[in-house]
Structure 1
């Protein structure tokens, strides 16, 4: 699933501008993982995976970097800090913010074809 479609499904807003780069418009996400425990995120292979979380901290972005994630969805309209945006931008990670809960986002993406990590 393409990044723009994911953003549309969750009625989100892109926080940074990577959705417009050619490499990201071609990226095809196949899985989603929902967690607020970053130690759980580090346990699994995350290629072609979207991370759904309500945890809006710099540690979330650092975990995404280590896990080779390229898309974070921040739930419940949590505030995304400038430090998060800067690190995500440097690391070529897209951030999507949405009003929806982690539960709603997970259901919407599953219903539209994204598979769970496990």
Structure 2
């Protein structure tokens, strides 16, 4: 298990929404820009790593019970995305790292892969 605050620290991430969830822990990570792949995941306590920054990502996460999303490649969260995420208690983070680098850092931190 990895504290969300440690994810923020190691990825040099900005917390966009969900500051009150930083003490929570995540166990698994899944990286994808294909939301159809995300919908196939049936894992609790998951951190989604993606570069797809649109409302579909938030809606997919809501349907998949994903409470934590890291947007990589310096992708920015829109006000509409932030509003929808806050309504659904989804923590949003932004990181300048590439998806590959973020996954490597998170693996070293102890986050487990889904597969």
- Which bin holds the TM-score, normalised by the shorter protein? over 0.9
Unaligned runs of 5+ in 1: none
Q: Which runs of 5+ in 2 are unaligned?
A: none
Q: Distance in 2 between matches of 1:107 and 1:75?
A: 13
Moved beyond 2 Å, runs of 4+: 24-27
Aligned: 1:73 with 2:65:
no
Aligned length: 114
The reply to whether residue 12 of structure 1 matches residue 13 of structure 2 is: yes
TM-score when normalising by structure 1: 0.92
What TM-score does the superposition give when structure 2 sets the normalisation length? 0.95
Q: What is the alpha-carbon distance in structure 2 between the residues aligned to residue 85 and residue 78 of structure 1? A: 13
- Cα shift at 1:25: 4.3
For 1:114, the equivalent position in structure 2 comes to 111
* Distance in structure 2 (CA, Å) of the matches to 1:28 and 1:112: 12
